[in-house]
């Protein structure tokens, strides 16, 4: 694919547009990717750079599709499961665990690996739960709803859970697995932009916002963290990615000892 020439000003315009729509702060390393994506979309729509930029500004779906190609949606089952195990151990020791319906929000769920990993662990413990799983990207949500994954995505899933909650594909699905319906039914997928969308009005026992704030700048991360704080029940949990930190942000969470990526309200 032929990439196009992009002046510094044009790159800055595009970078600003992506930032305003998603909070994602593109770094120079994404320039080449951006150029080839632009060339492809300009050819497809028959528009000049200027025309395409106005189109991008006006069409939310196009900008999100565009953002999709410059961010990483990388995820896998049981990724960074230490904080999830900690949350589950606590939930499972609660005296009201038989009557309480645990509500969890995966706020940047990508292709669904994260919410389904949570769901199989809740299910194994016999807890009553529901998971809201959201992302800015339509394409990852479409994959999530299907619940079909390449085998390499599930290599961290413990054998008994693999056996109970997944079906191995055959024929044209050789090398793939499908999440069973009894798990899928616990998860509601929805589009949600952490930057622009108002937080849900109901409250959650735990909110996970993992491996997305690495793309945000300080002020954007601070706004997101404080918006999510409001959606968490008293003593509820907030989990971020292992490579992320709330250290320089103004926030009201308390750290959970020994699990640096886990916080409590």
Ligand X SMILES: C[S@@+](CC[C@H](N)C(=O)[O-])C[C@H]1O[C@@H](n2cnc3c(N)ncnc32)[C@H](O)[C@@H]1O
Nearer to ligand X, 65 or 130 (CB): 65
Q: What is the dihedral of CA 112, 236, 192, 22, to 10 degrees?
A: -100
Q: Which two tokens stand for residue 138?
A: 């339509």
Question: What is the contact mask toward ligand X in residues 59 to 88, using x (rule: CB under 6 A)?
Answer: ------------xxxxx---x---------
Residue 76 has φ and ψ, to the nearest 5°, of: -155, 165
Nearer to ligand X, 51 or 60 (CB): 60
CB of 163 to ligand X, least distance (A): 23
Q: How far is Cα 181 from Cα 179, in angstroms, rounded to an integer?
A: 7
Q: Is 17 in the site for ligand X (CB under 6 A)?
A: no
Q: Which two tokens stand for residue 123?
A: 């299910």
The footprint of ligand X on residues 195-214 (CB under 6 A) is 195, 210-212
Nearer to ligand X, 3 or 242 (CB): 242
Q: Which of 23, 112, 147, 236 binds ligand X (CB under 6 A)?
A: 23
Question: What is the contact mask toward ligand X in residues 228 to 247, using x (rule: CB under 6 A)?
Answer: -------------x------
Instruction: For residue 94, give the nearest of 118, 129, 120 by alpha carbon.
Output: 129
Of the candidate spans 49-57, 109-117, 119-127, 144-152, the one that interacts with ligand X by CB under 6 A turns out to be 109-117
Q: Is 114 in the site for ligand X (CB under 6 A)?
A: yes
The footprint of ligand X on residues 142-181 (CB under 6 A) is none
Q: Which two tokens stand for residue 97?
A: 């665990």
Instruction: For residue 37, give the nearest of 8, 11, 9 by alpha carbon.
Output: 11
Nearer to ligand X, 128 or 151 (CB): 151
Q: Which of 38, 56, 118, 194 binds ligand X (CB under 6 A)?
A: 194
Instruction: For residue 173, give the nearest of 155, 148, 156, 200 by alpha carbon.
Output: 148
- Greatest pairwise CA separation for the chain in angstroms: 63
Q: Is 132 in the site for ligand X (CB under 6 A)?
A: no
Residue 49 falls in which region: left (phi positive, over 0), alpha (psi -120 to 50) or beta? alpha
What is the residue whose two structure tokens read 């999709």? 68
Q: Which residues bind ligand X (CB under 6 A)?
A: 22-24, 71-75, 79, 108-110, 114, 135-137, 140, 192-195, 210-212, 241
């Amino acid at each position: 694919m032929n990439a196009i020439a992009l002046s510094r000003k044009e790159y800055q315009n595009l970078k600003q547009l992506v930032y305003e729509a998603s909070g994602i702060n593109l770094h120079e390393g994404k320039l080449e990717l951006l150029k080839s994506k632009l060339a492809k979309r300009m050819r497809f729509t028959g528009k000049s750079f200027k025309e395409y930029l106005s189109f991008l500004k006006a069409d939310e779906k196009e900008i999100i599709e565009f953002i999709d190609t410059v961010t990483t949606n990388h995820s896998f089952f049981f990724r960074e499961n230490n904080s999830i195990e900690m949350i589950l151990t606590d939930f499972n020791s609660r005296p009201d665990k038989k009557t309480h319906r645990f509500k969890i929000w995966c706020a940047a769920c990508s292709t669904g690996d994260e919410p389904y990993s949570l769901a199989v662990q809740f299910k194994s413990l016999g807890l009553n739960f529901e998971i809201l799983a959201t992302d800015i990207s339509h394409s990852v949500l479409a994959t999530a709803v299907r619940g079909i994954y390449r085998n390499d995505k599930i290599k961290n899933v413990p054998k008994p859970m693999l056996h109970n909650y997944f079906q191995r594909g055959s024929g044209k699905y050789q090398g793939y697995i499908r999440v069973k319906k009894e798990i899928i039914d616990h998860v509601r997928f929805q589009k949600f932009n952490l930057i622009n969308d108002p937080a849900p009005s109901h409250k959650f026992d735990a909110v996970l916002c993992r491996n997305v704030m690495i793309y945000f700048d300080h002020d954007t991360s601070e706004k997101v963290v404080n918006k999510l704080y409001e959606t968490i029940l008293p003593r509820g949990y907030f989990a971020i990615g292992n490579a992320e930190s709330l250290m320089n942000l103004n926030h009201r969470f308390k750290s959970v000892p020994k699990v640096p990526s886990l916080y409590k309200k």
